Structure 1
Amino acid sequence: MDLTAIPFFNDLVTLFKPALFNIYFALASIPFGFPFAILLALAKTSSKRWLRWPAEVFIYAFRGSPLFIQFFMFYSLMLSFNQTLWKPLGVSEFVLHPLFIGPIVLVLNTSAYAAEIFYGALRSIPKGEIEAARATGMNTWQEFWVVKWPNMLRLAWPAYTNEVVFLFHATALVYFTLPVIDEQKDLMNKASELFKQDYALFVHFSAAAVYFLIISMLIFWVSSLFYKYLTRHLNTNRSIKLKPNYLR
């Protein structure tokens, strides 16, 4: 049987390159969003107002506004400095490029959501462990690395995994809000282009959905392995389940 004669399989081949752009936006955002989120969470737990208030305002602003609007507003802000700043510096094409703006907005958005996750994990750390660390004479830095850091990761990891998957799904909005340059189309843009040719909506968008499903499953799998490592000292077999529980 010739699979190339089946439109669905043709779409899978055609959408492979666009899927790489979605993967790029996710991979370019997570390494920066993760540490930034931790800094925001630590700032929010701080007793110092000059640290806590800016973190709270940032988290509220980016969690309270749609990502779609954030792309528009950030691109408009960068565009407003084009004549006065970017062109004189000779970086106009770079800073206004979707491959640059996309990850920045995604970093700001995911760091706000992840910060709230890590903040909740920090508040859930058993106080007895923190008191024990202080009783042994640990300073603030040692207390964080020995007690707070491993507990925070273990408690927050399942929820953070969901945030990473949501971030990957959110990459579909980049080229819906930012200009498409040359053939740099992601999954949704390319599926929309194919749809306009023959109006086979189910075929084209189903093929795009397959890529989202497969990559999401890979994220869950890798995250589950890391979660098993975080909980290796426990006597229970803990993992992030990939299949739903139909019976409870």
Structure 2
Amino acid sequence: MRLTEQPSLYDDLEKKSVEELLRDINEEDKKVPLAIEKVLPDLTRLVSAIEHQLRNGGRMFYLGCGTGGRLSVLDAIELPNTYGIDPEMIQCVLAGGVENLVLALEEREDDVEEGWRTLQERNISPKDIVVGISASGTTPFVLAALRQCREHGIPTGSFVNNPNSPISEYSDYPVEVVTGPEFVTGSTRMKCGTTQKLICDMISTTVLIRLGRVEGNRMVNVRLINDKVVDRSVRMLMDRNPALTDYEFCKQAIIRCGNVKKTEQYLHEQGILR
């Protein structure tokens, strides 16, 4: 039996108090970052491969369904605003379609045609890289698409929560984060889902830092999506350039240019910054 399907280490859950349930869930959740720590070398290889493909004009595709697939969508949709990248750079192939995110079409995980068909519709090529996500490591939707990728010379990676999984076998850069049985037996939306959220964060953040979308520790390419971000960008510009002391001037310059990085380039060209 897969580790993710084995009986919980806890029993008689319905008899526990709120305090006991929260404490026990928290104890299980503590295991997740420690499990990820053990596979950092594998994760390093995966992220380095993604960086290489993107740096050379390729794209990354998250491929998944269920909790993992939905979490990858949440990761990808925030990246264009946060880092000012083209939405095509990091995409998601979700079983049932991203447009049906909230419908939880779990039955689509057994579809062995949709994943590869969707990748073909997006003109997948060996310049790109596909990263499969599956708690079990056996999800047919993910496995079938990764097999097709291998047949067509397309680099692949994956992260799963069971050792020696079929999906890992069909991945060039597999990551297996073993978190053990879930608090509620088989409920992989819990520790496995937490793993998937953390790894998506680690992948996208690390890759985009490496691709120059962050300077120092600042989001210098963040898009001006609301007043809060405009104010943050103005203060960022002034912090990075102490010669700039006029808040309103900086605000208008940023609104004109679109982000901090472009504003600094413009001000250099105008001779205002040296």
Per the normalisation by structure 2, the TM-score is: 0.25
**Looking at both structures, which has the greater relative contact order when contacts are Cα pairs under 8 Å and sequence separation is at least 6?**
1
Quick check: which one's helix share is greater? 1
Quick check: which one's strand share is greater? 2
Per the normalisation by structure 1, the TM-score is: 0.27
